[in-house]
Structure 1
Amino acid sequence: MTYNPGRAATVFLFSVQPLGVHVTLYTEDNNFYDYYKRQLAYVILPDGSCLNKLLIREGYAKPEAEYYCKMLLEYERINFATQQARQGLYALAPLF
């Protein structure tokens, strides 16, 4: 069986945030949608933690400088540490 990184990220996401549990979304003033018309937001979990930060720290997401956000520098710092530690998808490839 081959490893499916998208599936691994989805399994991780649902382990952290099961379907049906309410979250809070915060958006930036100037970047509401990406190129594909997907809504961009900070996802705050019921315990107050930020899902965006958690996904980056665990290696299942990475920040995109193309879409500015207030947290970009912190997200890039976390992503660099995650990449160095070969967490999540970085265990499979140095870049994704």
Structure 2
Amino acid sequence: MVDGDTIRLTGGFTVRYLGIDTPELTSSRSFEKGLAQAAKQANSELTRGRKLRLEYDEERYDQYNRLLAYVFLPDGQMLNEELVRQGLARVLVVFPNIRYQALLILAQQQAITARRGWWRELPQAQEPFYVANTRTRRFHRPACPGGKKIAQPNRLILKTPLEAYWQGFSPCRRCQP
């Protein structure tokens, strides 16, 4: 076990779950650190001692040479989806790996509606609007350099961060909307 969205297989391979992101264990924010621990624990409990099936998408490895996969239990349950549904992970769309994007967004909407985990306290708007990139599936604060560079055909204006998450956008790591 590595963390909430990564596992190490018996053969030594490291697998990064596709389509999701959990908080980092090293986060300085206490709420995120608690969620990171909960995601790691849930991931460990769901995978420990079980035979897992990996399903790959377009890219098989990331820049750190980790396998990229959707991880399934013997009963067919997708762990990526389950962690999102429990509110322990958020959707993180990374093209071209989008096979289960709609399923993961639906699971995130269910977690938001039920106010589970990450969604216990819904994000409040701190800006008059947010700028989303429909190609990269990231959203930004209006003053973020990354948001300002979005080509007009890919540019979408959203009223709140919650609207962005509901549609499956992920926050920019730079401006942290």
1:59 to 80, 87, 92: 87
Structure 2 counterpart of 1:41: 69
- Taking a change above 3 Å as real, the CA distance of residues 34 and 63 of structure 1, as seen in their structure-2 partners, is farther
Offset at 1:56? 1.0
Bigger Rg, structure 1 or 2? 2
Shift of 1:36: 4.7
Report the Cα distance in structure 2 between the residues aligned to 1:53 and 1:84, rounded to whole angstroms. Answer: 16
- SS in structure 1 opposite 2:68? coil
Runs (5+) with no aligned partner, structure 1: none
Deviations along 1:6-52, whole A, 9 cap, x unmatched?
1111112222222x322010101x22234554322110102221111
Structure 2 CA distance for aligned equivalents of residues 8 and 43 of structure 1: 18
User: Is 1:76 aligned to 2:105, yes or no?
Assistant: yes
Number of the residue aligned with 2:53: 24
Q: Which residue of 2 aligns with 1:89?
A: 118
Alpha-carbon spacing, 1:7–1:93, altered in 2? closer, same or farther (3 Å): farther
Q: Which has the higher strand share?
A: 2
Q: Distance in 1 between matches of 2:68 and 2:60?
A: 5
Task: Please give the secondary structure, in 1, of the residue aligned with 2:112.
Answer: helix
Q: Indicate the RMSD between aligned Cα atoms, in angstroms.
A: 2.3
Gaps of 5+ in 2: 1-29, 124-164, 166-170, 172-177
The answer to which structure has the higher helix fraction is: 1
State the TM-score, normalized to the length of structure 2: 0.45
User: Matched residue pairs, number?
Assistant: 93
From the superposition, tell whether residues 8 and 65 of structure 1 become closer, same or farther in structure 2 (CA, over 3 Å).
same
Partners in 2 of 1:17 and 1:65 — Cα distance? 23
AA aligned to 1:21 is: R
Residues 70, 8 of structure 1: alpha-carbon distance in 2 compared, 3 angstrom cutoff: same
Tell me the distance in 2 between the aligned counterparts of 1:13 and 1:86: 20
The letter for the 2-side match of 1:72 is Q
